[in-house]
């Protein structure tokens, strides 16, 4: 029996010629990631276990992004602990305020993720790097501690779901709509501990930013990882960023999949996820007109330059509705600079939006946009659980940058095609 992309990567990392779904393996790690929330816990476990050195200072990344710039004393203490550890162990890829970005946008940008690599991160959205043809998955802080010390991790080889994409995205439809449609189809546990493997001629029409968004939310369907085949767009993206040899893997023709889903990109419409689960999806036209209080455009899901451009194109020359607070957060400093060069920041500010330094901030109810009781937001983030962005009686509608920008202007949920 042939192997999927994920199985081939894991076999290589385990030093095996063949692996199969359900098999337990020990794999060598190419990168271990943590942030300002999860790294301090990992540091505590690392030191409690008696470890005194990391396995490779060049293969660990620590990004202070969730509550930074620090919102309070507790978050400052966590950042200080991570900062001291990074300095003590001479961690090469340590990103602090002014240099950091939202981790899952920053690491690919810095060339720290490449095709065929095995990447673990103490953050569930580490699956983002599957857009580059890597096996990347979220783990807990204890596993992060062990990974930093040994460069190894145990995995159960996942079975796979094949998602075949056909056609081409229509105007005002993007990768966010693709993944919301998929989650709405299979549910938040439809891919539980499975690899979601994308294929088909429709992949070629997706930008890298679309692919990052789709892989990012694989976890919202329960997926162990989401992965795209490596093509010309992938290689163009990593060219000049990745300075080490890497290997792209392709699924065998006789690879085994538990399920195959076909998505016709031609027929997709702007899609939203209503409270309080990402699977609660509707076509935006079904809920247009619903009153809102806040719009957030950013996050590790949709804070990239394509997202900024899409939102700015809709908001140009218009004003954010009086009843709406709109917060725009470029995901990295590089994206922020590019958006300034293109005049996008002027568009946002002229429209009446607040523009923030890179941070995860409002996505997890951290800062830069927490909601009060009874408020409702349209957000380009990835989770709309109860209390995720503030009060337990607030609501989040997940959407693409196009829908979010149109909603900010309309003052209610709006269809960008209208």
> Averaged over 91-115, what is the pLDDT?
96
CB 60 within 8 A of CB 54: yes
| pLDDT tens per residue across span 40-66 | 999 999 999 999 999 999 999 999 999
Q: Give the pLDDT of residue 227.
A: 98
By percentage, how much of the chain surpasses pLDDT 70?
Answer: 100
Cβ atoms < 10 Å from Cβ of 386:
13
Question: Is the per-residue pLDDT at 406 higher than 90?
Answer: yes
Domain 270-410 = CATH 3.40.190.100? no
pLDDT value, residue 326:
98
The reported pTM is 0.95
Q: What number of residues does the chain have? A: 418
5-263: CATH topology:
Aconitase; domain 3 (3.30.499)
Lowest average pLDDT, out of 1-5, 83-87, 363-367, goes to 363-367
Report pLDDT for 366.
Answer: 87
* Whole-number pLDDT of residue 297: 98
Rounded Cα distance between 185 and 182, Å, is: 5
Tell me if 322 sits within 8 A of 291, measured CB to CB. no
In this prediction, residue 34 carries a pLDDT of 97
Three-class SS of the chain: CECCHHHHHHHHHHCCCCCCCCCEEEEECCEEEEECCHHHHHHHHHHHCCCCCCCCHHHEEEECCCCCCCCCHHHHHHHHHHHHHHHHCCCCEEECCCCCCCHHHHHHHCCCCCCCCEEEECCHHHHHHHHHCCEEEECCHHHHHHHHHHCEEEEECCEEEEEEEECCCCCCCCHHHHHHHHHHHHCCCCCCCEEEEEECHHHHHCCHHHHHHHHHHHHHHCCCEEECCCCHHHHHHHCCCCCCCCCCCCCCCCECCCEEEEEEHHHCCCEEECCCCCCCEEEHHHHCCCECCEEEECHHHHCCHHHHHHHHHHHCCCCCCCCCEEEECCCCHHHHHHHHHCCHHHHHHHHCCEECCCCCHHHHCCCCCCECCCCEEEECCCCCCCCCCECCCCEEEECCHHHHHHHHHHCECCCCCC
Residue 84: per-residue pLDDT: 97
The pLDDT of residue 68 is 87
pLDDT for 233 equals 97
pLDDT of residue 1: 78
Residue 418 clears pLDDT 90, i.e. is over it = no
At residue 114, the pLDDT reads 98
Buried b or exposed e, range 213-245, using 16+ CB within 10 angstroms: bbbbbbbbbbbbbbbbbbeebbeebbeeebeee
Percentage of the chain exceeding pLDDT 90: 97
Q: 94 pLDDT exceeds 90?
A: yes
pLDDT grade for 413, boundaries at 50, 70 and 90: very high
Res. 194: pLDDT tops 90: yes
Mean pLDDT lowest among 209-213, 218-222, 281-285, 360-364: 360-364
Contacts of residue 79, defined as CB under 8 A and 6 or more positions apart, other chains included, come to 36, 64, 67, 68, 70, 96
Query: Position of tokens 């509550």?
Result: 67
Rounded to whole angstroms, the Cα distance separating 229 from 248 reads 8
Average of pLDDT values for 362-376? Answer: 92
Helix axes 305-315, 344-351, angle to 10 degrees: 50
Strand partners, 249: none
For the chain, the structural domain boundaries read 5-263, 270-410
pLDDT in tens, 114-133: 999 999 999 999 999 999 99
pLDDT digits (tens, 9 = 90+) for 136-154: 999 999 999 999 999 999 9
């Amino acid at each position: 029996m042939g192997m999927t992309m994920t199985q081939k990567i894991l076999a290589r990392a385990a030093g095996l010629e063949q692996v199969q779904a359900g098999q337990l393996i020990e794999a060598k790690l190419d990168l271990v990631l943590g942030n300002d929330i999860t790294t301090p816990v990992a540091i505590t476990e690392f030191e409690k276990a008696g470890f005194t050195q990391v396995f490779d200072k060049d293969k660990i990344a620590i990004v202070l992004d969730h509550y930074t710039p620090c919102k309070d004393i507790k978050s400052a203490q966590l950042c200080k602990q991570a900062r001291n550890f990074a300095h003590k162990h001479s961690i090469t890829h340590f990103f602090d305020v002014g240099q950091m970005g939202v981790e899952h946008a920053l690491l690919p940008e810095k060339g720290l993720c490449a095709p065929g690599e095995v990447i673990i991160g103490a953050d569930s959205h580490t699956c983002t790097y599957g857009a580059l043809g890597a096996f990347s998955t979220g783990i807990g802080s204890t596993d992060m501690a062990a990974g930093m010390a040994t460069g190894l991790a145990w995995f159960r080889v996942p079975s796979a779901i094949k998602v075949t994409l056909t056609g081409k995205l229509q105007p005002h439809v993007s990768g966010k709509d693709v993944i919301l449609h998929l989650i709405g189809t299979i549910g938040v546990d439809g891919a539980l501990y499975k690899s979601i493997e994308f294929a088909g001629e429709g992949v070629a029409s997706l930008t890298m930013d679309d692919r990052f968004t789709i892989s990012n939310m694989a976890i919202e369907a329960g997926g162990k990882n989401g992965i795209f085949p490596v093509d010309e767009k992938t290689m163009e993206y990593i060219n000049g960023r990745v300075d080490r040899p890497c290997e792209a893997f392709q699924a065998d023709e006789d690879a085994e999949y538990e399920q195959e889903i076909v998505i016709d990109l031609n027929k997709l419409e702007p899609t939203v996820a209503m409270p309080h689960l990402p699977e609660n999806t509707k076509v935006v036209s079904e809920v247009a007109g619903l009153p809102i209080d806040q719009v957030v455009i950013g996050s590790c899901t949709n804070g990239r330059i394509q997202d900024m451009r899409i939102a700015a194109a809709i908001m140009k020359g218009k004003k954010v509705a009086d009843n709406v607070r709109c917060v725009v957060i470029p995901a990295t400093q590089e994206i922020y600079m590019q958006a300034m060069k293109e005049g996008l920041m002027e568009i946002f500010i002229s429209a009446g939006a607040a523009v923030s330094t890179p941070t995860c901030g409002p996505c997890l109810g951290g800062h830069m946009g927490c909601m009060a009781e009874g408020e409702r937001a349209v957000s380009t983030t990835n989770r709309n659980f109860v209390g995720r962005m503030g009060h337990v009686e607030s609501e989040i509608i997940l959407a693409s940058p196009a829908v979010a920008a149109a909603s900010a202007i309309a003052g209610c949920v709006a269809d960008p095609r209208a």
